[in-house]
Amino acid sequence: MSSHVRLNEGVFIGSHAVAAGLVRPEDLRRRHRRVVQGVYATRGLPFDHDTRCLGTALVLPAGYAIGGLSAVGWYAAPLLGPVDPVVAVGPGGATWRGPREVRVHRSDVTDDDVLVDRRGVPVTGPWRTAWDVAAMESLPNAVAALDRLAHEGVLDLGEFAAWVQDRRGKWRVTQVRRAVELADARAESPEESRVRVALVRAGLLPEVQVEVFDDQRALIARVDLAFPELKIAIEYDGAHHFTDQQVPRDNVRLARLRAAGWVVLRLANADLYDMDDVVRRVQALVGQRTA
């Protein structure tokens, strides 16, 4: 690509490349992939949310930045996939709507709110990102985002909570405070975070990342969520748990937990589509163990 055609790591505005004679119009779709309206990625570039953010950054007007759940992926593993809209934040009185693959949140953005990433992408800083996800997203998604930011060490939950307490009267501050109260830096996956939120809302208070020892004080396992007094563990099994290498290890670990008197509820991705059922299953286990 010519130097006067602006790129972000292989992502470019199609009309600019055509005008420069670098790409034929009929080859835009055939040889490149559209990441957002009018913006394309060169062949072989992964099609993921990160690439969509790179493309969106090329068309952001001055005063706008990548924000919300999209910005979380700039500091930690992404929470959004390739087909999810990119979140952008910009001035409250502005009229830019962005490509149809972009969700624009209108809110005043100061220079202090925005960092320019080494990749040339304007992105909201950790505290502004944390505030926006807690204010804009559902409680489970907000807590999952805060957990991830805190787990990666880019957000100090104690300092952020103290700052939030001083934001009386701000838009959705009550919702933000609730998300911060439930956030926990020890959480290791967004799925674990969402299960924890569902249980807490149902009046159940599991502990996070609990270490289980045998009678000789040897470590058996560290479980995602647990009710230690009842010896109930809740585990989320991601895709890697179903590989040929991991299945035997998980079976040994599960057998050791059961031998130590623990009951283990194992959850897969399909289970999380009915979180009410997950809550009922945990309530049933608690009822059995307290009977």
Kindly state the tokens that stand for 150.
Answer: 């805190």
State how far the alpha carbon of 63 is from the alpha carbons of 50, 124, 138, in Å.
Answer: 21, 11, 26
Residues of the chain predicted below pLDDT 70: 1-7, 239-248
Q: Using CB atoms within 10 A of its CB, is residue 131 exposed (0-12), middle (13-18) or buried (19+)?
A: buried
Q: How far apart are CA 266 and CA 237, in angstroms?
A: 7
Q: Check residue 248 and give its pLDDT.
A: 66
Joined tokens for residue 291: 């009977």
Q: Give φ, ψ of 66 to 5 degrees.
A: -65, 130
Tell me what pLDDT residue 3 has: 43
Domains and CATH numbers, the chain: 7-49 (no CATH), 62-182 (no CATH), 190-290 (3.40.960.10)
